Amino acid sequence: MITLTSEFIDANWSILQDGLVLPVALLEWDDGDAYTQASLGALTGRTVFGAVVLNDTPVHDFPIVIRLHETSESADGSHYDAPNRIQYRATAERRNGDDTQVRDVRVERLHSSLASRRAGLLETEVLSKRSVSIVGLGTGGMHIALELAKSGVGNFFLVDPDRLEIGNVSRHQAGISFVGRRKVLAARDLILESNPAARVDTYSIRGDASHEDLLRRLIKVSDLVICATDNRPSKLLVNALCVETARPGIFGGAFRRAYGGQVLRVRPGESACYHCFVLAMPDIEADREVSSEEDAAAIAYSDRPVVVEPGLALDVAPISIMAAKLAVQELIQSEESALHVLDKDLDAGWYLWVNRPEPGTRFASWPPLSESSDEMTILRWYGIYLDKDPGCPTCGDFRHALREQYGIEGGPLNAPQSRPFPPPEGTDSQG
């Protein structure tokens, strides 16, 4: 099978008409069983050069020849509607010495074919105009990015400083051939494999205060922000920038060993922010997956190390899918779509998922899924309403709340010396 796009032939139609021969680079797969136009997507393989020719034009210098014959037959996958309003049928042959093999050809109209598969639910191409910033391209962030690309999101700003390591491959969407590459660049290539029309800007930087100005600019021009980092400081910074710029944000994360996880949606001015969540649920927020040596070092105790215990990819996947689903709902807010039927189901701000009744956790005694219909169990999503904290240092009036709590009269009020949120794990609570 040989796959070309009608967009490629359209763009080069004048060359084909004038010279009757149009060279094309093809990628060969599976020992010559399939060939795809090399300019599609971002993955690379063995390159073979072929030619697209009109009718019976003789060609001798190319191993693959794709002929366009005028036809009046009913259209199928091998047909091409040319700019001159004539319909052609594509046939192909692969030459190897004296051996000539006939090959099937498909001429795909790339963008309309992809869009038609999404239109059944979305009824709009609005996502192609939407921009999403994703901070953190680990297992969860990469999965979310690819699901949004498949859904048709057209613009991505990707932020992550790390390179893909061998140990990541057991969970990451990028496989062994990506090892050593920047995660943002691997993500870019995989996004373009699913949505070649997407624009992807990459920033191999940390999502922390040292790059606050850049993060602010990216978030300000985004319609939605996904924060998939695994540390509190970066999440608090991204949250603060979302509140400052009035951009909605989605914060996702897995618990230790991915026995469960949670997703928080932040709508500045309307819902609780991530800082409110930290204040309201400090133990849940502090329960995070330790998936790398860097994570372990960040929370290690002074007298003993913390073990790296990443969960399985299949346990992280439900959390990523929920984050992506909430993202799509957020991106279509102002548009008509059949997906709005989910608005009432997804109107809570915080969503909780438990993969298994992990010993030593508050979920260890949850009943089996098969034995309960009215109790909270594993393998079910729960939407939980979370009120804004009026004294939240990020989205509330912290100074007013402090005066109210301690009966302080008006006038200058110095910033508190202690943290306005619980300390990270492994630190002295009095520090």
**pLDDT tens-place string over residues 277-288:** 999 999 888 888
Please tell me whether residues 84 and 146 are part of one structural domain.
Answer: no
Please tell me whether residues 183 and 71 are part of one structural domain.
Answer: no
pLDDT confidence of residue 430: 41
pLDDT confidence of residue 46: 87
What CA–CA distances, in Å, run from 127 to 245, 337, 373, 382?
21, 12, 37, 27
Please give the span between the terminal C-alpha atoms of the chain, in angstroms, as a whole number.
66
Distant-in-sequence, close-in-space partners of 42: CB < 8 Å, separation ≥ 6: 188, 189, 190, 192, 193
What whole-number distance in Å separates Cα of residue 232 and Cα of residue 274?
A: 10
- Span 75-131, pLDDT tens digits: 788 889 999 889 999 999 998 877 888 889 999 888 777 776 665 556 557 899 999
Averaged pLDDT of the chain: 86
Residue 413 belongs to a domain: no
Residue 423 belongs to a domain: no
Residue ending a domain, among 83, 108, 133, is 108
Residue 425 belongs to a domain: no
Please tell me whether residues 337 and 213 are part of one structural domain.
Answer: yes
What CA–CA distances, in Å, run from 256 to 127, 143, 286, 308?
34, 19, 10, 9
Please tell me whether residues 96 and 176 are part of one structural domain.
Answer: no
Q: What is the token pair recorded at 231?
A: 């540390």
What whole-number distance in Å separates Cα of residue 158 and Cα of residue 175?
A: 19
Residue tagged 């079910």 (tokens): 380
Question: In the predicted model, what is the mean pLDDT of residues 228-241?
Answer: 95
Using alpha carbons only, what angle is made at residue 227 by residues 280 and 360, rounded to the nearest 5 degrees? 50
Residue tagged 């709009």 (tokens): 124
Please tell me whether residues 165 and 287 are part of one structural domain.
Answer: yes
What CATH code is carried by the domain that includes residue 253? Answer: 3.40.50.720
Residue 227 belongs to a domain: yes
Q: What is the token pair recorded at 376?
A: 């909270």
* Residue 13 pLDDT exceeds 90: yes
DSSP class of residue 351 equals E
Strand partners, 100: 95
Residue 399 belongs to a domain: no
For 85, phi then psi, to 5°, come to 70, 15
Residue 343 belongs to a domain: yes
pLDDT confidence of residue 417: 45
* Residue 373 pLDDT exceeds 60: yes
Task: State the DSSP H helix or E strand holding residue 293, giving kind and residue range, or none if neither.
Answer: helix 293-299
State the total domains in the chain: 2
Q: What is the token pair recorded at 55?
A: 């009718």
Residue 98 belongs to a domain: yes
Domain extent, residue 40, equals 2-108
Please tell me whether residues 222 and 73 are part of one structural domain.
Answer: no
Please tell me whether residues 357 and 221 are part of one structural domain.
Answer: yes
Please tell me whether residues 253 and 303 are part of one structural domain.
Answer: yes
- Span 249-304, pLDDT tens digits: 999 999 988 999 999 999 999 999 999 999 999 988 888 876 555 554 454 444 45
Q: What is the CA radius of gyration of the chain?
A: 27
- Span 134-156, pLDDT tens digits: 999 999 999 999 999 999 999 99
Q: Is the pTM of this model over 0.75?
A: yes
- Give the lowest-confidence range in 12-21, 38-47, 305-314, 324-333: 305-314
- Give the lowest-confidence range in 20-29, 186-195, 209-218, 365-374: 365-374
Please tell me whether residues 346 and 248 are part of one structural domain.
Answer: yes
Helix (H, G, I), strand (E, B) or coil at 195: coil
Question: In the predicted model, what is the mean pLDDT of residues 325-349?
Answer: 90
Residue ending a domain, among 84, 108, 132, is 108
- Give the lowest-confidence range in 151-165, 237-251, 328-342: 328-342
Helix (H, G, I), strand (E, B) or coil at 236: helix
* Residue 313 pLDDT exceeds 80: yes
Please tell me whether residues 65 and 140 are part of one structural domain.
Answer: no
Strand partners, 81: 87
Residue 212 belongs to a domain: yes
Please tell me whether residues 161 and 73 are part of one structural domain.
Answer: no
Q: What is the token pair recorded at 131?
A: 């921009």
Residue ending a domain, among 108, 133, 168, is 108
- Span 54-91, pLDDT tens digits: 988 888 889 999 999 999 887 788 889 999 889 999 99
Question: In the predicted model, what is the mean pLDDT of residues 221-226?
Answer: 98
Alpha helices, DSSP H, located in 332-408: 398-406
Please tell me whether residues 133 and 36 are part of one structural domain.
Answer: no
